[in-house]
Amino acid sequence: MDTSDLLATLDRDGQLLAEAAARAGLDASVPTCPEWRVRDLVTHTGAVHRWAARMVGESLTEPIGIPTAPEADGPELLAWFREGHRLLVKTLTAAEPGLQCWTFMPAPSPRAFWIRRQAHETAVHRVDAESALGDGSSSAGFSSAGFSALDAEFAADGVEELLMGFHGGERSRVRTDTSRTLRVRTTDSGAVWTVHLSDGPPRTERTAEGPVDCELAGPVSDLYLALWNRLPLDALGCTGDASLARLWRERSAIG
């Protein structure tokens, strides 16, 4: 996906997150992240934005810790979030194509990595903020129709980042004692991924070929939200061995 489109999505979703947080109130529960209040969501995402902006803006080649959020609350906390979001968008926009800095997944360039990663980080947490506008009881009451729309190309890119990026490395906990295969199929965009599971890191291919043990299928925006654990998996079609779908739900969380 073009970096200019990812930057535009990052800009939009950060603004939508702040708007939803203000409407829901900082004390509201976040159904998609049951352990959080909106305050936690805003402080986490705002701190990540500043962390990424510093990595890129200072061309840091070694990782640094995510900064601590201020003691601010109410409108001051939301203003702090908006300021950090604007700083991130400005920093990424101004970054040179030849930028060299630390990253944690393969990418065409560090600039491309940070734009993509922060676009999806912000989109997922924008969904969290919008979920707080519901009754606050359970994520089971939400569907993709209840959230601001996800562009199909963006959603497919996010599914690929999750499957081939986060779950393509040693830290992935989605593993099986015996070799199993999970297919992820979009019903609207034509994109298909096949995930080979074993006792090592998952290996994902862009293919619809070969037999599988389980297939998850649905509109690409629903797949994006469900694979990021923001929609229940029963929002998707599931054929074959449903235990593989449950395995994903139980072990795929990103720390």
Q: Give the 3-state secondary structure of 58-116.
A: CCCCCCCCCCCCCCCCHHHHHHHHHHHHHHHHHHHHHCCCCCCCCCCCCCCCHHHHHHH
pLDDT tens across 10-25, in order? 999 999 999 999 999 9
Mean pLDDT confidence for 130-157: 75
Domains of the chain and any CATH numbers:
3-141 (1.20.120), 158-251 (3.30.1050.10)
pLDDT of residue 105: 94
**Taking a C-beta distance cutoff of 8 angstroms, is the pair 33, 24 a contact?**
no
pLDDT tens across 181-197, in order? 999 999 998 999 999 99
Least confident of 49-63, 135-149, 227-241: 135-149
Mean pLDDT confidence for 195-222: 96
146 has pLDDT over 90:
no
d(CA 18, CA 185): 32
